[in-house]
Every structure is written in structure tokens, then in C-alpha cells.
Structure 1
Amino acid sequence: MPQNRTRTPKPPNPPNTSKPSAPPKPSMTWLFRYLRPVKWRMLALLLLLLATTALQLVNPQIVQRFIDQATGSGSVSGLLSLAGLYLVVAVCNQLFTVSVDYLGNDVSWRATNRIRADLLKHVLRLDMRFHNVKSPGEMIERIDGDVTHMSNFFAMFIAKIVGSFVLLAGILGYMYAYNWPIAATMTVFTVLSVGVMFRLRDIGVSASQTERQANAALYGLIEERIAGIEDVQANGGVPRLMNRYHRAMRAVFLAGRKAWMRRVLPWNVTVVLFTIAVTAVLMLSVRMYVQGQITLGMLFLFFQYTQMLNDPIEQLGDQLQEFQKAKSGMRRAQELLALRSEIAEGGQDDLPQGPLSVSFEHVSFGYNADQRILHDITFRLKPGERLGLIGRTGSGKSSISRLLLRLYNLDGGVIRVGGTDIRDLKLASLYRRVGMVTQDVQLFDGTLRDNLTLFNPELADDAILETTERLGLRPWIEAMPGGLDARLAAGGASLSAGEAQLFALTRVFLTQPSLVILDEPSSRLDAATEAILQKAVDQLLERCTGIVIAHRLATLDRVDKIMVLRQGRIVEFGARASLAQDPASEYARLLRADRQEELA
């Protein structure tokens, strides 16, 4: 039976706040704060667009004068001058257009990269309950895909909207100065087109949001199945997987078609209105030309300005489509940012120096509300003691380690490290003093140095090499081309299981923790590699408190205490030597079974 239990009152746990109370409404203020750092580039972009608009208004007038002089008594030199001026204006217009595209994309990437960074930082701070239900593929789509649909808003929306209205005002103002009936016809078309587009501006937002969700689900499916491709192939699951993929693709197609049809509805309406406007203007212009009221050049000018009138209207339509996409992405981004981790950070920063004590006081926990994993766990470790955790798969061993790192909140009870409730500690303070080595070692696309230090530039190369030499990893590093600057691929395909575990131990060594959790680090190793790893583990545990989770009982020969778990309850807890010598103990029974298995 468990020993050394002391009853203490259970303090209340913080509520789960991993969901927002209500879906946030898209806020333009939220977007504009990302534009403030690039406001001068936005101003330069606006000035370039105004210059481009002015050149667009000038060119038709040059052509009008050229036609009138060519059909009249104009000189050849005058025509050549007008042609040269037209070419200069056209070249300048192209240069300004290229500059606008470059500056617009520069503004877009600067602003949206800050959004991506904020979203990624926020997601990394969310608790494990959130990450258990969200696949990496879905998160990539939400952090990158949704933000990409906002990029056009940052790049061109404001500038093009302003530029389009300036161009519309310039065209209509010029037409009113020359011929008010035609100008009135163009004004009616403009007002109706702009009114329809703004009236229908949100018609595609919900459908676009559904389209983004369908894409996220598809990418999540692809990422998960590629990660488990070996199991899928080995168990003949490819046909079933392809069926799920086709269904997901169909959902993307249907959602995308519906979103596209709704987004283009304002544009379709403006096409009909534009056709009516062009017909009316052309009929009025031809009638005036026949009656001798305008010249041929003026007829061309009226027609050209009518054609140009459609360009800003189309730009407004395009930008409203992009705005609908951006608004759906904005909603999803703000929904993500509105989520709050259930792990409430404490304010205490100090822990005792040296090895830390650990105590669990009536701890209960479950990953789901209807399924309890740990039941009333109570034990205590003095500073510097080593605990061996054993039990069948699903008995709660790994759950204890996750709770120590505050990856989840307790359902009841208290966990103290160094005498302090871990809920009162700042997370950074806890992580500085607690290290963990798991069965699966995560390696990142980067140099050996980056992978060993976890991208900490403050760790000197001498300290890294000295640590790796103690663990027997230095000869392997020196054999790599480039040494610490050698590049590793993500996932660690270039490392053996033993090298990967030594990597993980080196990371923990370099942080100099006061409490170390080893979660079955030797479960995938052969006997020779396990002996090397055990030597490194012994060196690590010499200066800190240790918790070793293991299936192989031989790895627990040097621990001080043993805890046997079964179905989330402590079956046995006590000194290893005493339990090993007690033939009635559960630990002694497991030792006998382990020896018989080795002899067999």
C-alpha cells in the first residue's frame, strides 16, 4: 500500500479558459496596428498610385489632340511631339506601376509576417488540451493560409481604393467640364456600381470562412496521414485513406465553388451596368459627332474615358472580393487569438538552489472530464532523491511527468516543487529548473549547435563540446562535416535512436536542471547503447532530483525509491532496496518475473 500520505485540503483549480466566450467580430483597428510600422511605405505607395492615376488621365487627352490635329491641319512636328509625349507618359506609367507592385508586396509581407509571428507565438503558448485536438496541418493552414488571404488587403486595398476613387473623380470631373449629359450617364453608372458592391460586400465572407475551414481540414488530413504512412501502407489502409482524401477534396471544391460564386456576384452586376453605360455613352457621342457638336478626337476621348471608368470599378470589385477573403481570414485569426490557455501563470520566480524536492498531495487528473487517469496520488521526494516509476501502459506514468511540467491543469490536489505550488510559479522559472527526456526526441531543421542548445546563442561552443565529450557524443560530432555547424534534417532521420537519446540528454545537461524527468529514454535501444546511455544518466542524476519512468527494471538499479502504478493508483511506494528484499512486495514480484523472462 502507499506510504507517507498526509491529508491536505484541496485548493481550487483555475477554470478552463481555452475557449473564447463569444466569437470575436473582425476589427479594423486590430489590422491597422500591423500597418503602423509600415505607414511611411504606405504613404509612398499612395503617392505612387496618385501619380499613376494622373498619368492615366493625361494619356487619353494626348491621343485626343493627336487625332484632332491629324484630321485637321496639324503639322508633322506637332504630331511627332504628341507621339513622343505619349511614349514618355506610357513609360513613366509602367515604371510607376512596377514600383507600386513592388512596394505593395513589401508592405504586405512586412505586415503579414508580424501577424504570422503573433499567431505562432500565441499557439505555442496554448495548453496541450488545445494541441491534442488540433493537427499540425490545420495549424499551418490557419497561421499561414488564412494570413496569406489578408496579404492583398495590406498590400493594395487601401491604396487601390483611394486610387480608384481619385481616378473616378478625375474622369467624372473632366467629363462635367466638357459634356454634362454624358457625365451624368457615367455618374449614374458609377453610383449604382459602387452602391451594389458595397451593399453586397459581405455576401461571400461566411462562405469564404467555410472554404478556409475545409482547406484546413484537408491539410490536417494530409499531414497526419503522411506522418503515419508506414502504418497506413503496412496495414493496407491506402484505399480507405484515398476515399477520405477524395471526400475532403470534394468538400474543398464545393465550399470553394460556393464562396467564389458569392464573391463574384457584385462584379457580375457591375458588368451588366457597364454594358448599359457604354452603350448609352456611345450612342450619345455618335449623335453629337454626327450633329457636329464634338470632334472625332473628342468622340474617342468620351469612349476612352468610359472604358477607363470600368477599370476603377473593376478594381473596387476585385478589392471587395479580396476584402471578403481577408475578412474571413481575419475572423479565423482573431478567433485563434481569442483562445486562452487554461494554464494560468503564477507570479513567483524564486526556487531553492540545488536539487529540488517534489511532492504530490492527493492529485487527481484526467485528459477528459469523463475519464480519470490519476486517482489521489500522494508521495514526496527529498532533494537529490531518485524515483523509479513503473507500471503497465496506461497506468499514468507519463501523466505524472506532464503534470510536473504544467502541460495540463490538475483536476484536484497540489503539486509542489522546491516546496512551492507549481501554480504559483512563472512557467519560465519552472522550465529553467526542470528538464525532461522523452522516448521520442524532436530534432529540427538546423545546425548541430542549434539542435543541442535549442537555438540558445548564449551557450558557448566550449561548454557544448565539453558536455558532449562527457556523454560520448563528441567523436560523432567531430566526424560530421562542419562539426557543430553541420546541418541536420527535421525529424532526425540522420541519427540513430541512441544518438538521438544522447542528443536529448545533452540538451538537459546544458540547461543544468535541478529536477530531471526521464520518460523511458532507453526503450528503443539495444543493450550496448543502453549501457552508454545509462552512464550518461548516472552523471546527470548526480547533481539533481530524478524521476525515471521505465519498462526495463534494470534501468532502475540506482534509484532510491520505487513507485508502482496500476490504473492510475499507487500500488506501492517505498525505498527500492527494502521493496526488493520484501518477497511480498509488488516490486519484488516484478523483479522475479523479469529474471524468469531473461532466463527463458
Structure 2
Amino acid sequence: MPQNKPSSISWLLRYLLPVKGRMLVLLLLLLTSTGVQLLNPQIIQRFIDTASSQGPLDSLLTLAGIFLVLAVCSQLLTVLLSYLGNDVAWRATNRLRADLLNHCLRLDMRFHNLKTPGEMIERIDGDVSGMSNFFAMFVVQIVGSFILLAGILGYMFVFNWPIAIVMTIFTCVSVGAMFVIRDLGVKSSQAEREASAVLFGFIEERIAGIEDVQTSGSVPYVMRRFHLAMRNVFVRGRKAWMLRVVPWNVTVSLFAVAVTAVLLMGVHLYITGQVTLGALFLIFQYTQMLNDPIEQLGNQMQEFQKAKSGMRRSREILSMESEIRGGTEDSLPEGPLAVEFSHVNFSYNQGNPILRDISFRLEPGERLGLIGRTGSGKTSISRLLLRLYNLNSGVIRIGGVDIRTLRLEVLYRRVGMVTQDVQLFDGTLRDNLTLFNSRMSDEEIWDTTGKLGLRPWIDSLPQGLDTHLKAGGASLSAGEAQLFALTRVFLTKPSLVILDEPSSRLDAATEAALQTAVDKLMEQCTGIVIAHRLSTLEATDQIMVLGGGRILEFGSRQALAQDPKSGYAELLRDDRQEELA
């Protein structure tokens, strides 16, 4: 049965409750600040009345001194409220950012194939920033505004109830109108955020492919697409802004009517001698003060609409579930693992099969060489072994266990993969090699890097394993990056290793030296080598030739090489002819 989604309020409380202590301090500061704001006009009223009646100078100086002290205190309280409000907002929304990132990292590859990195940055940070801006001043301005309104109206009912009734009507109508149209710009704000996410995704994608864009002369095309994306952001942003300012425009119109009525009543009371000049100023000042919280509520309604659109988009991400579900099995046989595919069918998109009825078995400790044309399904087999995608049908077993019944952590701990793309993180060389596993000793790192030939490069660095690397891998050559990837995988001591073109970036001499080290490291595990260079398959036991998603050949490497009718033997002949040429 589908679970009921929590309400927006309960969802927000989940992130606000951890900072409830700071929010309590914030509320106390708000009450103090409101009291100071309500007291100041009364000090000025007494000053004016005392001056009008030619009262003693000492009293005027005392009132002026009190006013200055209260003004300074008011400014200090404003600074504290702003600081604490932002502190509460960032602490709460940073938890949301962490939850969003953690959730996205656990979603399956189908999701990430549809979302560009730039779009995901906007979803995780941009949307939440809109919520942070709202939360930063929500307590300060929303709660503070209502407290100030209550204080002003309460005092005015004591001072002059007819004027207080006019001010109350204005307040109720303004707040009611804002409440009725509070969601007016939410959908448009959501569309604005979506357009912004598309723009950021477009920029990230084109910058990542800058070499292809420049060499193919596609800059004018890219700029045209950029202008179209920017126009979409502008059009949607303009519509969202126009809808968001409706509450503010409504309150401005209502205030003009209210202030006219209150001032006319106040002037009438002064002319008829019912109030003093200071009291008339007090009425005017409180009327102006009444507009400030109303205006703040209007501004916060705009922020609320942006925050609610961000909230909806964040909840949309958090409600998504990965199609990859881990099992409960947490044990595999020790040592090298057998691999078995039984009638496996797979497609990335419905109606476009990539693998068709794949069945084979690899014994523990054996090495399989995978060859085939681009699009034959070689990489798809490796992705299925790591459960990056689910099968359409069939069964894959590792160590005799259906991988769908295994906990994902167990699978990833025993299966390692080296891809052609090497990802570096912002951190030390040691952290990048061990993937932040502090339990791995330096002796293990030195032993593996020495076997793979990466040790001389590490020794040349000024701080060795403590050298700081930047994200992206710009500090590594192509060959060093390949050695880096091999080291990272073999440090985990896997039972099954998948090597996707392990020597594609290496020269012939380095490849030959590396092959000996890889052979030694793979003595304790089962191996699958995906290769275009047939020379990298000389140490494999079995060969599989794929074509059109089907197994064209599968058998002993030596037997296939000696069979002149086999496709593998034909590829070997073509390879030798290319070398002679």
C-alpha cells in the first residue's frame, strides 16, 4: 500500500526541530525588539507634549536620552535577529541539502541518465537556497510582524477604540487577502526554477564538451540554444514575479485607504481638542508602524511562494525511489567468485534490446576476455554485474548467489571495476586512493602502488600521499589516471574484477610492464577484461565474442585462437596484418 506523504508543516518541522533551542532564543529577542519598537513612539509623544507645554529641560533631556538608548538597543537587536535568523535557516536547510544529496546518490542510473549534473546542482542547492532565504527571516518577520501588529492594535484599543477598529479592519482585510492569494505564484515560481535548472544543465553540459564544440565549429549553435534557454528563464521569471507581487500591491492599496481614514480621524480629534499634538503624532506613528509588518508580510509572501516551489521540487526528489533494491543476503564464498549468466535479457529503453538471451559460466579464478563491436553489449554486462541496472529477465549469480538477493554493500565490497573515466575528489592523494577509507594502512597503499608502477610518481610529489589533489583529475596524465584507477580497485582486494580497457591510455612499453603486475594482482580473484586491443587478452582463459547483443562465440582462448574458422582467430589475423602494415 502506498504510504501517505507527510504534510508540508510536519515535513518542515523535521528540519526545524533540531534548531528549536536557537528558535526559542530568536523568539525571546523578537519579543524584546517588539517591546522597544512599541515604546519608542510613546517616548516621542511625551517629549512632544512636554515641549509643547514648556516643561522642564531636564525632563526633555531624560526623554531624549532614553530614546537614544532605545534606538541603539533596537539596532543591536536587529543585527542579532538577522544573524540568528540566518543561522537557524542555514542549519535547517543544510540538513535538507544533505538529505537530498544522500538520496540522489542512492538513486539508480536511469534517473541520473535523465538528469544532468548542472540540473542536479540546481535541484539540490538552488531550490533549497530559496527556502533558506524564506526561513532566514520567517520567524523574524512573519512571527515578529504578528507580534508587532498585536501590540499596536492592543495599545490603540486602550488609547482610542474607533481608530483601533479602522486599523483592525485594515489589518484583517490585508492579512486575509494575502492568505487567500498566497499560492498565486507558486506554480509559476516552480516553472521558473525548472527553467533555471535546465539552463544550468545546458551550461554544464556544453562546458564539459567544450573541445567538441570548438573543433566542430558549433559555437553559434550552442549560443543560439543558450539564448533560447535564457529567454525561457526570463519569460517564466517575469510571469512568476508579476504573480508574486500581487499580495504586496493589494496591501499597498489597502494601506492608502486605511492611513487616509486614520489621519482624518486623528486630525479631527486634535482640532476638537480631544487629543494632544503628541497623541496625534502617536496615532500617525503607529499607523506607519502598522504598515511595516503588513508590508513585511507581503514581501514574505513572495519569498513563501518561491520557498514553496522549492519545497515541492525537493519533496518530489525525495519521493523518488530507486528501481535497484538490495536483498537481505550478506555472505558470499571466500576467495575468487564464480560468475553465471542464465538467459539474461536487458534493454535501456523499452523495445530496444541490448542483451539477448545471454548465458555463460565463469569458474572461480578464471579470466574472461570480452570483445565485440561498439554497441555489442560489453559494457552492459559489467553494469549488470554491479547492479547499476535491473535485468528485464534472467538471472545473474556471483559465487552461486543471485545478485538480486545480495545486500548492495556486500556486492560492492566484493566486486571491483576499473573504467576508462577516473574520478578524482578534492582531498589528499591517500583519500583518493582509498576512497576515504581510514582503516587502510599506508603499507597496503605502498605495496599495491609499487606493483602497478605508480610509486615513482607518488615519490616525485612534494608531500607524497598527503599531497592535495583537485577534483576533476586535471593534475594527472592519462596514463597516471589509468594506473590510479587500477590501484584504487586492487586496494579493496576484490574477489571479482571487471577491467574496462585497462591499458587503453598507456603506451606499449608501460602496458607490457603493467600487464605483469595486473596478472599478479588478479591471481586471487576472478577477472573479466573488456578490450579492443587483443594483446590485453593474452592472459585470459576464456573468450566471449559479442555481436548484436548475442554471444557469437564463447570458449577457451587457446581453442578459439587455433580454430581458423572462429571469429576470434579472424580478429587475431587482422590484428597481425595491421601491425605488419
Aligned CA distance change for structure 1 residues 23 and 594 (closer, same or farther; 3 Å): farther
Q: Please name the residue that 2:299 is paired with.
A: 318
Q: TM-score, normalised by structure 1?
A: 0.95
Structure 1 residue 535 and structure 2 residue 501: aligned? no
Structure 1 residue 96 and structure 2 residue 74: aligned? no
SS at match of 2:87: helix
Q: Please name the residue that 1:576 is paired with.
A: 557
Counterpart-to-counterpart distance in 2, 1:230 and 1:532: 32
Please list the CA deviations of residues 501-558 of structure 1 after superposition, one character each: whole Å capped at 9, or x if unmatched: 1111111111110000001122232212222332332122111000000000000000
Structure 1 residue 559 and structure 2 residue 540: aligned? yes
RMSD: 1.5
**Which among 393, 417, 428 is matched to residue 398 of structure 2?**
417
Kindly indicate whether the alpha-carbon contact (under 8 Å) linking 1:126 and 1:341 is maintained by their aligned counterparts in 2: yes
TM superposition shift of 1:268: 0.1
Structure 1 residue 596 and structure 2 residue 577: aligned? yes
Q: Please name the residue that 1:69 is paired with.
A: 50
User: Which aligned pairs between 1:51-450 and structure 2 lie closer than 5 A?
Assistant: 51-450=32-431
Please list the CA deviations of residues 311-362 of structure 1 after superposition, one character each: whole Å capped at 9, or x if unmatched: 1111111222111111111111111111111111100000000000000001
TM superposition shift of 1:158: 3.7
TM superposition shift of 1:21: 8.4
* Bigger shift: residues 348-357 or 43-52: 43-52
Structure 1 residue 485 and structure 2 residue 466: aligned? yes
Kindly indicate whether the alpha-carbon contact (under 8 Å) linking 2:185 and 2:305 is maintained by their aligned counterparts in 1: yes
Structure 1 residue 587 and structure 2 residue 568: aligned? yes
TM superposition shift of 1:376: 0.5
Letter in 1 for 2:456: P
Kindly indicate whether the alpha-carbon contact (under 8 Å) linking 1:26 and 1:334 is maintained by their aligned counterparts in 2: no
Letter in 2 for 1:598: E
Q: Please name the residue that 1:11 is paired with.
A: none
Counterpart-to-counterpart distance in 2, 1:191 and 1:229: 57
Kindly indicate whether the alpha-carbon contact (under 8 Å) linking 1:23 and 1:335 is maintained by their aligned counterparts in 2: no
Letter in 2 for 1:418: G
Counterpart-to-counterpart distance in 1, 2:437 and 2:299: 45
SS at match of 1:366: strand
Please list the CA deviations of residues 417-468 of structure 1 after superposition, one character each: whole Å capped at 9, or x if unmatched: 0000000000000000000001111112221111111111221223222221
Counterpart-to-counterpart distance in 2, 1:475 and 1:399: 35
SS at match of 2:343: strand
Aligned CA distance change for structure 1 residues 23 and 442 (closer, same or farther; 3 Å): farther
Counterpart-to-counterpart distance in 1, 2:214 and 2:558: 47
TM superposition shift of 1:409: 0.4
Letter in 1 for 2:413: R
Counterpart-to-counterpart distance in 2, 1:387 and 1:467: 23
Letter in 1 for 2:127: D
Please list the CA deviations of residues 44-67 of structure 1 after superposition, one character each: whole Å capped at 9, or x if unmatched: 111111111110000111111111
Counterpart-to-counterpart distance in 1, 2:442 and 2:406: 31
Structure 1 residue 505 and structure 2 residue 486: aligned? yes
Counterpart-to-counterpart distance in 1, 2:504 and 2:484: 15
Kindly indicate whether the alpha-carbon contact (under 8 Å) linking 1:61 and 1:301 is maintained by their aligned counterparts in 2: yes
* Bigger shift: residues 154-163 or 293-302: 154-163
Letter in 2 for 1:35: L
* Bigger shift: residues 526-535 or 334-343: 526-535
Structure 1 residue 459 and structure 2 residue 440: aligned? yes
Counterpart-to-counterpart distance in 2, 1:402 and 1:355: 19
Counterpart-to-counterpart distance in 2, 1:340 and 1:477: 42
How many pairs were matched up? 581
SS at match of 2:376: coil
What fraction of aligned residue pairs are identical, expressed as a percent? 71
Please list the CA deviations of residues 23-52 of structure 1 after superposition, one character each: whole Å capped at 9, or x if unmatched: 968622111111111011111111111111
Counterpart-to-counterpart distance in 2, 1:402 and 1:528: 30
TM superposition shift of 1:284: 1.4
Counterpart-to-counterpart distance in 1, 2:219 and 2:4: 38
Kindly indicate whether the alpha-carbon contact (under 8 Å) linking 1:128 and 1:408 is maintained by their aligned counterparts in 2: yes
SS at match of 1:462: helix
* Bigger shift: residues 523-532 or 254-263: 523-532
Counterpart-to-counterpart distance in 1, 2:268 and 2:520: 99
Counterpart-to-counterpart distance in 2, 1:141 and 1:88: 45
Structure 1 residue 545 and structure 2 residue 526: aligned? yes
Q: Please name the residue that 2:501 is paired with.
A: 520
TM superposition shift of 1:177: 0.9
Aligned CA distance change for structure 1 residues 352 and 22 (closer, same or farther; 3 Å): closer
Gaps of 5+ in 2: none
Counterpart-to-counterpart distance in 2, 1:328 and 1:197: 17
Counterpart-to-counterpart distance in 1, 2:13 and 2:4: 20
Kindly indicate whether the alpha-carbon contact (under 8 Å) linking 2:81 and 2:140 is maintained by their aligned counterparts in 1: no
Letter in 2 for 1:57: L
SS at match of 1:584: coil
* Bigger shift: residues 70-79 or 157-166: 157-166
TM superposition shift of 1:481: 1.9
Letter in 1 for 2:367: R
* Bigger shift: residues 272-281 or 411-420: 272-281
* Bigger shift: residues 454-463 or 90-99: 454-463
Letter in 2 for 1:187: T
Please list the CA deviations of residues 447-492 of structure 1 after superposition, one character each: whole Å capped at 9, or x if unmatched: 1111111111221223222221222212211211221121112211
Kindly indicate whether the alpha-carbon contact (under 8 Å) linking 1:24 and 1:331 is maintained by their aligned counterparts in 2: no
Kindly indicate whether the alpha-carbon contact (under 8 Å) linking 2:453 and 2:514 is maintained by their aligned counterparts in 1: no
Please list the CA deviations of residues 261-289 of structure 1 after superposition, one character each: whole Å capped at 9, or x if unmatched: 11110110100111111111111111211
TM superposition shift of 1:70: 1.0
Kindly indicate whether the alpha-carbon contact (under 8 Å) linking 2:482 and 2:502 is maintained by their aligned counterparts in 1: yes
Letter in 1 for 2:299: D
Kindly indicate whether the alpha-carbon contact (under 8 Å) linking 1:35 and 1:154 is maintained by their aligned counterparts in 2: no
